[in-house]
């Protein structure tokens, strides 16, 4: 869009809007850095805008093409797409597509295209040979990441030139927080905290906090996160959470992002202790616990029965993470559990996930998984009243109440590493203090 607009000399052109259904199936794992810009597993509609542009202003379209209006198109990568089939679908003549892909490959490998990614094209009409009726390609551009744009241009002699534009990204730290009224999500959204940041916040605290029982009205959260924008102020997304804080029943936990010298990024307390544990209590982001562990009236069977797991209500398709590192022991249908995954973590612990809609790609028996890796998606298979995740923790072959789970605490930083952490932490604290929280949210309970 942006390139062509600069070339247009005025005149009003009609734009055709084509809406395509696109499904993102992004199995990206939940590491602290790499998922910063991932789209998650959501279904969305993407618009493709097609707008003819004034002809005489496009200098770099070969003369033979200058008599028909170049067309600008934005294509979105869908599941199963290759650059070749996308260009073919856009009507690009095969020879043109081949040359453009070859040129692009010098700076961007076409197999690195991700679902949801955009391709910008400027097309002309082919007037000769067996390509008549098809398009020539005046420009092809793609953003490998938010910092770079790779552009293939056809110069006046018809040769293709490829180059990379670097975009300047401005990073600023934004602080948000709120007293929790009904749920972390509602209060967070009222305080203009992006849903993505709230989801990551719950994930950071998922090792220690049971978001149903531990979070009460009057508790609060606060978060310092990076916001990314372009030079002209355009919003480009969010970077990392730098500080994550919760005050629960007057007890404050403030966690700091820190990358250790071996390259692991994790969240640490003021004392330099990691909160990460071998198993998480909440293997899903932003879900509400709809039924805890213990005796209850069974929603389907109607009589009182022991509920040997924890239910998280969440929309169908919400990603489910491996609660810990381990090996997939079962991934298949299992009676009233519906689609079911069980992971063996060690000789003592296993975790199980039931009523799934489906499994993440590659998840099958014998497969090794990392903690936080997406293993499946919330569904309502088996005996289930609605979309939810049923999560069990097994100790020595029996389901246990996750609240009784007493895992050793995570890694502690020591010596020089601890000293370095304290320097980083002091810097983050200063940033935090300098990023004032919105005024109407300042009434946080004492204890901070």
List of residues contacting Zn ion (CB under 5 A): 309, 311, 390
Between CA 78 and CA 89 the distance in angstroms is 12
Query: Shortest approach of Zn ion to residue 389 CB, angstroms?
Result: 8
Q: Is 191 within 8 Å of 258 (Cβ atoms)?
A: no
Q: d(Cα 167, Cα 47) in Å, to the nearest integer?
A: 24
Q: Which is nearer to Zn ion, 245 or 311 (CB)?
A: 311
**Residue whose CB is less far from Zn ion, 18 or 306:** 306
Least separation in angstroms between residue 383's CB and Zn ion is 9
CB of 395 vs Zn ion, minimal distance in Å: 18
Contact 165, 149 (CB under 8 A): yes
For residue 338, the minimal CB distance to Zn ion (Å) is 11
Nearest residue (CB) to Zn ion, 201 versus 352 = 352
How many beta carbons lie within 10 A of that of residue 145, not counting itself? 12
Nearest C-alpha neighbor of 169 from the set 37, 361, 290, 63: 37
* Beta carbons of 42 and 319 less than 8 angstroms apart: no
Q: How far apart are CB 293 and Zn ion at their closest, in Å?
A: 9
DSSP state string for 418-430:
HHHHHHHHHHHHH
> Least distance from C-beta 300 to Zn ion, angstroms?
10
Q: Which is nearer to Zn ion, 140 or 356 (CB)?
A: 356
Give me the residue whose beta carbon is nearest to Zn ion.
390
| Angstrom distance (rounded) from CA 239 to CA 218 | 29
For Zn ion, the closer of residues 94 and 294 by Cβ is: 294
Nearer to Zn ion, 230 or 294 (CB): 294
Name the residue nearer to Zn ion (CB basis): 306 or 442: 306
Query: Minimum distance from CB of 214 to Zn ion (Å)?
Result: 19
Tell which residue, 365, 369, 338, has the closest CA to residue 354: 338
Chain centre to alpha carbon of residue 418: 31
Contact, 62 vs 52, CB < 8 A? no
């Amino acid at each position: 869009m942006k390139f062509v607009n600069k070339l247009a000399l005025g005149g009003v052109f009609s734009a055709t809007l084509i809406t395509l259904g696109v499904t993102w199936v992004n199995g990206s794992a939940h590491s602290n850095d790499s998922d910063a810009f991932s789209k998650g597993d959501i279904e969305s509609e993407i618009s493709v805008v097609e707008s003819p542009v004034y002809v005489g202003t496009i200098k770099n379209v070969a003369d033979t093409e200058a008599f028909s209006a170049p067309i600008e198109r934005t294509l979105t990568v869908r599941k199963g797409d290759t650059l070749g089939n996308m260009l073919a679908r856009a009507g690009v003549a095969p020879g043109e597509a081949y040359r453009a892909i070859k040129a692009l490959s010098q700076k961007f490998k076409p197999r690195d295209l991700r679902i949801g990614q955009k391709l910008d094209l400027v097309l002309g009409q082919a007037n000769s040979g067996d390509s008549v009726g098809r398009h020539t390609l005046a420009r092809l551009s793609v953003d490998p990441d938010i910092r770079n744009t790779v552009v293939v241009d056809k110069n006046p002699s018809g040769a293709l030139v490829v180059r990379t534009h670097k975009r300047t990204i401005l990073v600023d730290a934004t602080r948000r927080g709120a007293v929790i009224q009904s749920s972390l999500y509602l209060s967070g959204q009222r305080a203009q905290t992006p849903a993505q940041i709230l989801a990551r916040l719950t994930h950071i605290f998922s090792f220690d906090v049971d978001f149903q029982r531990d979070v009460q009205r009057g508790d609060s959260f606060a978060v310092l996160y990076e916001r990314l924008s372009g030079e002209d102020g355009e919003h480009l997304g969010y970077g990392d959470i730098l500080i994550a804080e919760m005050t629960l029943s007057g007890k404050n936990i403030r966690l700091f992002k820190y990358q250790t010298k071996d390259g692991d990024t994790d969240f640490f307390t003021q004392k330099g202790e990691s909160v990460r544990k071998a198993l998480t209590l909440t293997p899903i982001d932003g879900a509400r616990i709809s039924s805890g562990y213990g005796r209850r009236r069974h929603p389907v069977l109607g009589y009182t029965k022991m509920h040997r797991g924890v239910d998280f209500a969440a929309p169908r398709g919400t990603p489910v993470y491996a609660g810990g590192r381990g090996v997939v022991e079962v991934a298949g249908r299992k009676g009233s559990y519906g689609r079911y995954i069980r992971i063996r973590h060690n000789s003592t612990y296993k975790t199980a996930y039931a009523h799934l809609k489906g499994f993440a790609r590659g998840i099958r028996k014998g497969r090794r998984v990392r903690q936080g890796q997406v293993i499946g998606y919330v569904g309502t298979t088996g005996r289930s009243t609605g979309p939810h995740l049923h999560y069990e923790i097994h100790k020595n072959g029996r389901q246990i109440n996750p609240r009784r789970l007493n895992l050793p605490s995570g890694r502690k930083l020591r010596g020089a590493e601890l000293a370095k952490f304290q320097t980083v932490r002091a810097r983050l604290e200063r940033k935090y203090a300098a990023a004032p929280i919105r005024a109407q949210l300042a009434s946080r309970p004492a204890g901070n």
